A and B are shown apart, each in its own frame.
Chain A
Amino acid sequence: EADIYQTPRYLVIGTGKKITLECSQTMGHDKMYWYQQDPGMELHLIHYSYGVNSTEKGDLSSESTVSRIRTEHFPLTLESARPSHTSQYLCASSEYVTGGYEQFFGPGTRLTVL
């Protein structure tokens, strides 16, 4: 059972607000990821980290930023939320197991910007 947590699960906010989506994992994984899932279900990698003080942009350009000060914590921040940011955000971490990597996902945060 993967231990990866996201808070809040649901968030409704007004345009222009600053928000931080929290993601924590207790498995000691070095690699962590943020995905944006649009209403059409497709998943897009927006940020990833290979370890403490490492952050990289993903395949889909995003106005959000991330930080990785501790191994277990990978928060995502939007400085000024807009309706176009309305989406589901999924956090994941990965480890190398026999034969290759495996990713574990949190429950997601559903963000609605009014």
Chain B
Amino acid sequence: GDSVTQMEGPVTLSEEAFLTINCTYTATGYPSLFWYVQYPGEGLQLLLKATKADDKGSNKGFEATYRKETTSFHLEKGSVQVSDSAVYFCALILTSYGKLTFGQGTILTVHP
């Protein structure tokens, strides 16, 4: 079946450090890929997405590139801020069903 695997957390960084959260997927078709962010006590917000191979999604300084050859969608940010502290979920949707398959989530904590 379809699955998403994220790097295990938690991840702890100092402000202005470089962030990478790895995400790989297994899917039978051609999925759309997403990163969602969940701040404490809130629901999920879409951070960025990519719908086909080699697409780069970007938002709020975060980027991820859809790599079909390595089945990966790693999240990166050049300089994290304390306000980026949250849980990050990688996910995929197969077009014909519209159902999300999530990774297990990665807790990010950024210290001043």
Q: Mark A103-114, 1 if CB is under 8 A from B, else 0.
A: 111111010000
Q: Are A105 and B43 touching (Cβ within 8 A)? A: yes
Residue of A nearest to B55 (CB): A99
State which of B36, B42, B44, B98 has its C-beta within 8 Å of the C-beta of A101: B98
Q: Are B102 and A43 touching (Cβ within 8 A)? A: yes
State which of A42, A45, A98 has its C-beta within 8 Å of the C-beta of B100: A45
Bound together, the chains give a CA A106 to CA B52 distance in angstroms of 27
The answer to whether A41 has its CB under 8 Å from any CB of chain B is yes
Residues of B contacting A: mostly: strand
The answer to whether A65 has its CB under 8 Å from any CB of chain B is no
CB distance from B26 to the nearest CB of A (A): 15
User: If the complex has contacts A33-B99, A48-B99, A101-B98, are A41 and B52 also in contact, measured as CB distance less than 8 A?
Assistant: no
Bound together, the chains give a CA A107 to CA B42 distance in angstroms of 5
Q: Are A105 and B32 touching (Cβ within 8 A)? A: no
Residues of A contacting B44 in the complex (Cβ-Cβ under 8 angstroms): 90, 92, 105
The answer to whether B22 has its CB under 8 Å from any CB of chain A is no
Residues of A contacting B105 in the complex (Cβ-Cβ under 8 angstroms): 41-43
CB distance from B30 to the nearest CB of A (A): 9
The answer to whether A31 has its CB under 8 Å from any CB of chain B is yes
Most buried by A among B34, B51, B99, B104: B99
CB distance from A48 to the nearest CB of B (A): 7
Closest 3 pairs between A and B when the two form their complex, measured CB to CB:
A99-B51, A100-B32, A101-B98
